[in-house]
């Protein structure tokens, strides 16, 4: 197949994305696919970093505008675009919406599910609707914080309480996540959060064992199949960015050494959530195992694919090696056409 791998991007998770995308491109090339590696710069330009063995090169290597990149896609016509992107602009439906214009299939969920899962405040409503076990939480707005922070703090303390977790609504890799143990620290981090966002999620802190359950769509039936649960044992207070990607930052056990019924319950929730948001290809649902049972945290529709990422570890525990995993994802996506209803019938880049 002809495959474009997209990585980089405009989010703080850019470096992680480059690692994911490079590893994916290497694996697909090893499997004999013709791969073009495209880096999205921090300014949102497109650069051909890895030239395909065949295909047009007259467009040069860039940097290209979005329209010029679309022209490259229309000229080379890959079978699928593999999204190695993370965070804002990559997981939130933005690049997915752009790719709908090309009519070329891409990996991962479509626009709506991507946007829904990326927005932590909106996703909480899905968990509540499903009756999933989730921590008490409240969404605060910048307007109410500016107008009357005492009242906003009071509402947060009543609904979510302290200790609590302050989260930016659209960040991943634990960026923009702070555990706060007292009102003074909470106020400081809310000030920091509202300098970046207009909405902030405050949820109750529920300590316990950190677990994650990934699902992978079956290539024949298209139905989501749960992978073995992974337990994460971070060296610090929680599984933050350093714990995820620094050497020795965390111990990850696959399969998780937990009771079979707990693993089965989390896998069931992962599948139910994947179906409810109309997820596609693969996703990963994170949870805490507390003294009172599972607490579902969030679902990631484009989980990382670096050497230290959790999805590849779960797949390996199921007997799926990394090269097989990414090829399976690419093949399944190539059979799923982009949503033709999302773009005009007659469109040409530069017109």
Shared-domain flag, residues 215 and 197: no
Catalytic residue among 304, 309, 327, 328: 304
Q: Is the Cα dihedral 111, 116, 117, 119 positive or negative?
A: positive
Looking at 204, 236, 261, the residue that finishes a domain is: 204
Within a domain: 128: no
Within a domain: 114: no
Number of Cβ within a 10 Å radius of residue 159: 16
Distances (CA, A) of 165 to 177, 182, 323, 344: 7, 11, 37, 43
Catalytic residue among 206, 280, 284, 328: 284
Catalytic residue among 210, 245, 280, 309: 245
Shared-domain flag, residues 199 and 308: no
pLDDT tens by residue, 298-348:
999 999 999 989 999 999 999 999 999 999 999 999 987 655 434 443 334
Q: pLDDT 10s per residue in the chain (351 long)?
A: 999 999 999 998 899 999 999 999 999 999 999 999 999 999 999 999 998 876 555 557 889 999 999 999 988 999 999 999 998 899 999 999 999 888 899 999 999 999 999 999 999 999 999 999 999 999 999 999 999 999 999 999 999 999 999 999 887 656 889 999 999 999 999 999 999 999 999 999 999 999 999 999 998 888 999 999 999 998 866 545 555 556 667 899 999 999 999 999 999 999 999 999 999 999 999 999 999 999 999 999 999 999 989 999 999 999 999 999 999 999 999 987 655 434 443 334 343
pLDDT tens by residue, 176-206:
899 999 999 999 999 999 999 999 999 999 9
Shared-domain flag, residues 219 and 311: yes
Active site residue 217: no
Within a domain: 125: no
Within a domain: 129: no
C-alpha–C-alpha distance, residues 346 and 351, integer Å: 10
Within a domain: 116: no
Q: Which residues of 186-223 are buried (b: 16+ CB within 10 A; e: fewer)?
A: bbebbeebbeebebbbbbbbbeebbbbbbbbbeeeeee
Could you give the number of structural domains in the chain?
Answer: 3
Shared-domain flag, residues 67 and 154: no
Shared-domain flag, residues 70 and 169: no
Q: How many CA atoms lie less than 13 Å away from 116 in the CB half-sphere?
A: 18
Shared-domain flag, residues 219 and 262: yes
Catalytic residue among 173, 243, 283, 334: 173
| DSSP for residue 103 | T
Shared-domain flag, residues 226 and 200: no
Active site residue 90: no
Within a domain: 113: no
**Residue that has been written with the tokens 């997820």 in this structure:** 279
Range of the domain at 79: 2-107+338-342
Active site residue 298: yes
Looking at 152, 179, 204, the residue that finishes a domain is: 204
Active site residue 61: no
C-alpha–C-alpha distance, residues 281 and 81, integer Å: 13
Shared-domain flag, residues 76 and 179: no
Shared-domain flag, residues 21 and 57: yes
Active site residue 284: yes
Shared-domain flag, residues 329 and 220: yes
Within a domain: 61: yes
* CATH code of 275's domain: 3.30.470.20
pLDDT score of 336: 77
Cα-flanking dihedrals φ and ψ of residue 155, to 5°?
-65, -40
pLDDT tens by residue, 93-106:
999 999 988 889 99
Shared-domain flag, residues 315 and 213: yes
Catalytic residue among 11, 13, 23, 90: 13
Active site residue 304: yes
pTM over 0.85: yes
* CATH code of 93's domain: 3.40.50.20
* CATH code of 193's domain: 3.30.1490.20
Catalytic residue among 300, 327, 328, 334: 300
Shared-domain flag, residues 194 and 226: no
Within a domain: 169: yes
């Amino acid at each position: 197949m002809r495959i474009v791998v997209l990585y980089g991007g405009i989010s703080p998770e850019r470096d992680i994305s480059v690692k994911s995308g490079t590893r994916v491109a290497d694996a697909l090339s090893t499997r004999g696919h013709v791969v073009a590696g495209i880096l999205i710069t921090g300014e949102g330009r497109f650069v051909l970093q890895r030239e395909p063995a065949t295909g047009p090169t007259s467009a040069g290597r860039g940097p290209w505008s979005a329209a010029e990149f679309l022209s490259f896609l229309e000229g080379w016509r890959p079978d699928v675009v593999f999204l190695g992107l993370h965070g804002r602009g990559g997981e939130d439906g933005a690049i997915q919406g752009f790719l709908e214009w090309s009519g070329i299939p891409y990996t991962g969920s479509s626009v709506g599910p991507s946007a829904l899962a990326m927005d932590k405040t909106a996703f909480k409503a899905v968990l509540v609707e499903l009756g999933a076990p989730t921590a008490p939480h409240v969404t605060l707005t910048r307007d109410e914080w500016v107008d009357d922070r005492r009242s906003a703090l009071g509402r947060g303390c009543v609904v979510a309480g302290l200790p609590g977790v302050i989260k930016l609504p659209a960040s991943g890799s634990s960026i923009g996540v702070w555990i706060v143990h007292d009102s003074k620290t909470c106020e400081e981090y809310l000030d920091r959060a509202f300098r970046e966002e207009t909405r902030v999620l405050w949820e109750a802190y529920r300590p316990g064992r950190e677990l994650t359950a990934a699902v992978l769509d079956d290539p024949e039936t298209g139905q989501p199949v749960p992978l073995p649960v992974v337990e994460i044992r971070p060296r610090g207070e929680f599984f933050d960015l350093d714990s995820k990607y620094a050497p020795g930052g965390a111990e990850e056990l696959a399969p998780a050494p937990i009771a079979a019924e707990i693993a089965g319950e989390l896998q069931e929730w992962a599948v139910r959530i994947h179906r409810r948001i109309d997820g596609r290809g693969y996703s990963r649902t994170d949870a805490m195992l507390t003294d009172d049972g599972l607490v579902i945290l969030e679902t990631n529709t484009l989980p990382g694919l670096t050497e230290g990422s959790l999805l590849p570890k779960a797949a390996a525990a199921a007997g799926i090696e990394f090269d097989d995993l990414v090829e399976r994802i690419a093949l399944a996506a190539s059979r799923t056409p982009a949503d033709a209803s999302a773009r005009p019938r007659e469109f040409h880049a530069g017109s």
